[in-house]
Chains A and B, each alone.
Chain A
Amino acid sequence: MASVLLPVSLLLAALLLIPELFGDFTAYQIGLYLIYGIAAQGIGFLWGKTGVLPLGQALFFGFAAYVTAITLRAETGLITELALAVAVLVAIAVFACALAALIFRGRNDSGPYFSLITLALVMIAEQIAGTATTLTGGFNGLSGFDSLGKLDPFAGFYYVIVGVTVAVSLLLFVLNRLPVNLIARAVADNEPRLQLLGFPTHIIKGAAFAFSAVIAALAGGLFASHQGIVTPTSMGFGLSAELVILTAVGGRYHVLGPLIGAVLVGWASAELRDSFPYWELLMAVAFILVVLKAPGGIAELLEAGYRRVRATKPGAPSKVIAAPPTKAVDAAGPLRFDDVHLQIGVVRILNGVSFQTPATGIVSIIGPNGAGKTSTLNTITGNLRITGGRITFGRRKIDSRPPYKALHSGIGRKLQVPSVFFSMSVSENLAIAMMANRSRLLDLLRPSTYRWRSRSLSDLLDHPSVPLKEELVEPVDHLPQGHRQFLEYAMTIAAEPQVLLLDEPCAGLSPDETALMTDLVRHYQAETGGLVIVIEHDMSIVEAISDKVLVMHLGQVLAFDTFEQVRRNPEVQAVYAGGTK
């Protein structure tokens, strides 16, 4: 806990000293910068972790500021005011979450779309605030009200701001140590992988956006009380842009970065804006430089300096605890394709694929490049939507559902090129995989969830030939290709799916590693009694592991039989000898 309490108490001490050392007026000014800094901390959380950039955060800031101003003018009393504040924050959270979830539902790459929609929202909000004169006072704004609890903005109210600043920072520091932090970072790192582990990433982004919106609204409420006036600019494009710049320059990956950015930029701006005409230009150039050259901003430079003085030693790996059982899926039985068609644009990829696997066993899919093998797996997980036919697992229809539901219907997938969370360590990757299909919402808020380890994963890691155990603290991008294959395999089986889809699991492996991988696959199938579907090019592996072999060619099933029967099939021979094409 020291890593949380130390920076927070230092922050508290520094902020409490300001009025003593520099007087009340400086404290008043710093109070305003801190308010912007709080809103920027929310942006930093969303942008730094999930990679989603909101360009219209003043929407929430300004909305809360207006509501605060209207309530304070009505002088309804502190209890009503605080109750209303809670109601407004809840409404903002629901709106923000729904908006982001809607926009992010259909795609993994809508970062730019989301940013532009938030920008459009704040522009319309500023316009409405300027024209709805009866409610907002138009361009002159709302003024003539006391601050919250009738505190003096030049004296007592500063301590309210300090309290909120410290509370928000503490909350963010604590969140950093909880499993939700890992999930949020995983969204930015490798969204398709996280979906295949069963996490609805659009909801995660929605929740993160809602959280940042609530923080912005908190800051907006303080702003109205502190400044005693709210105008359309408090809800405008300009403020939104400035908050993003403060976040970027201060450092979006660190809790205190946006605060540092807000205070430094705010102070420099107050000193220079009037005497130095190129100040705004300078800020734009600083922003571009940070984006291109130093994405970590000031906070990262400070932290690098601190690390040089006091290097952190990697902590000893904590003791593991038994993971809870996976969520029960009442799905079993054969996987069945009925006349499945898949067409993307004018390219026809699958042309009437029909087969039915046995309920258990190992099925290999073989076929020349472009036969539609990987696309077949993509239709099973929902990464590709079929354009005709039907896919069923047991009695349940499983086509045309989003990929994040694949695991819940009992289907786990390992991709062709190892797809793991590259910015994280091996143990962090495994921790996320352990949460897949096991964690409930509250588990993501308990540090103990980090230490979950299932028996089958322990067995895999304890296997003398599996390389992962010595590399738990290594970042994944230092691992060789073969080790990444084992890591992704371990992550896929950690959720114990009934159907395991493996796309060329032995690609890039040495002969020894290949033998190990085939052993592991056979062992998993025997242990769970489930179904394994493997795409493989190496015929010796296919012969060794397959109960049945599915041969695909030009988007259709050419043969589906035992290895011996398939080998004797003259059509298969013709395709593999290059006879027909």
Chain B
Amino acid sequence: MEMIMNQKHFFLYALLLTLIVFNLGIFMGYMLESSRVSKINALSVDSEMELLDQMIQKNAISLLGLDCRSMIEENAKFGDKIFEEAKQISKYEEANKISTEIITQHKRFDLLRALFWMNSIEIKQKCNSDYHNVIYLYKYNNPSIEQKSKQAFFSNILSEIKEKQGSKMMLIPISADNNITSVNILVKKYNISELPAVLIDEKVLLTEITNSSEIEKYLT
């Protein structure tokens, strides 16, 4: 039977088609991940602006003697926002397979959160506020299965407490192993040698939790 299509040409066409489909898949995947990174980027820019705004407010209180109330409220709102953002970013990170840009974005968020933490300490001192700073430090790079599971448990417990406490608790998740100098200094200052760890009001450090009450007792 006559071969309608030359054998050699067919294999070349098939190879070409395979390469096109494969590259198209990778390209589409890259586009999908890029769009997610863009969303994270937009969130981070938004958070950055809010944080800068708060820092200006804080300076204004010191310099001009303005009322603390609005700043405490804004701080609480920002704390809630950070909590929601962290959940969103974590989902995008799990789904991220090609692009490494998300890692840079994560570092940026870590910096923002560290800055927010410092700001929260300062506002608390200046305004004599009674909210609690709960810093959740976790391992971001290649956690073991044990660490990953433990972190998932810590996250659940902390999320539950945050839902109950609302704006009385500033839950600030920071990855402690992302090689950020300022975060490294803070980790060293609070003697954090094991991850995950929960630091409550810069006084209590917990690396083992068996239930939520072990944290909640420090938040009353």
Is chain B found bound to chain A in the same assembly? no
Could you tell me which B residues sit within 8 Å of A by CB distance?
Answer: none
Could you tell me which A residues sit within 8 Å of B by CB distance?
Answer: none
